[in-house]
Amino acid sequence: MVNITAVLQARIGSTRLPGKVMYPLNGQPALEHVVTRVSHADAVTDTVVATSTEPQDDVIEQYAPKFGADVIRGSESNVLSRFEQVVEQYEPEIVVRVTADCPLISPRFIDASIQRIRESDAEYVSAGFDRTFPRGVSCEVFTAESFEQVNAKSTEPRHREHVTPYYREHPEAFELSNLGSNQVFDEPWLQDRTDLRLTLDEPADYHLLETVYREVEYEEMIDIADVIKYIDKNGLVEINDHVEQKTV
């Protein structure tokens, strides 16, 4: 069996919305929803929360195992080194990078990205080259072998903090692949939904996500299709469509 490890990078010290990963959504911390959704991806064998050694992140180490994830801790600013720790400890063939501010991440996207790597020459899969998904639904997937090269050559601070810019800045060195929404969702109304913002960065984002999680019925895991139906039906896209995405 192929060992595939999902690494959820999380910390309390967000600059725009401190503590956001522990904000409650229908009574459960946002981080718990992320762990649950990632764990529902069929191909993922290990789910690890990678946080910092800062005292404020003790709460993440305390609660993540209760959500069903392992925990590793490392440098707050050198996030790439945390991924290095995970790769050394878990020895995966494929790594899934998830940011913990995505409580609506799609397990279907994760599985489709992993399948792309396993069935092609792709070393890095993303939705960001030609984005057709809402923000907050996708992630990045790469081979552990290619990550070794990235880790060795990522010397600039932004490379170490954001983990994957080296892939995108050196397309000649890797087999890069973009995953489109029509390759994950069959329903036309779920495709090309770049008008939606389903990530958690600012108070307006929390307003939208808190409303969705409170009003949309679900059992173990909320369905992204039901979320988007509810947002469309109630005209909620305007709640946070003014928020500008932070760039690297």
pLDDT, tens digit, for every residue of 205-237? Answer: 999 999 999 999 999 999 999 999 999 999 999
pLDDT, tens digit, for every residue of 66-77? Answer: 999 999 999 999
pLDDT at residue number 247: 65
Domain that holds residue 65: 4-239
Q: How many beta carbons lie within 10 A of that of residue 234, not counting itself?
A: 12
Q: Is 162 helix (H, G, I), strand (E, B) or coil?
A: helix
Domain assignment present for 9: yes
d(CA 65, CA 167) in angstroms, rounded, equals 31
Domain assignment present for 49: yes
β partners of residue 4:
94
For residue 248, pLDDT beyond 70? no
Quote the tokens at residue 18. 């401190």
Taking the CA of residue 227 as centre, how many other CA atoms within 13 Å lie in the half-sphere pointing to its CB?
25
For residue 16, pLDDT beyond 90? no
d(CA 145, CA 99) in angstroms, rounded, equals 21
Domain assignment present for 108: yes
Q: In angstroms, how far is the first alpha carbon of the chain from the final one?
A: 35
When pLDDT is averaged across residues 101-105 and rounded to a whole number, the result is 98
As for how many domains the chain has, the answer is 1
Domain assignment present for 150: yes
- Report the predicted TM-score, pTM, of the whole model to 2 decimal places: 0.96
pLDDT, tens digit, for every residue of 123-161? Answer: 999 999 999 999 999 999 999 999 999 999 999 999 999
pLDDT at residue number 86: 98
pLDDT at residue number 15: 80
CATH of the domain at 126: 3.90.550.10
Domain assignment present for 36: yes
When pLDDT is averaged across residues 172-194 and rounded to a whole number, the result is 97
Domain assignment present for 247: no
d(CA 127, CA 179) in angstroms, rounded, equals 5
Domain assignment present for 235: yes
Average pLDDT, the chain: 96
Residues above pLDDT 90, as percent of the chain: 95
Domain assignment present for 244: no
pLDDT at residue number 88: 98
For residue 245, pLDDT beyond 80? no
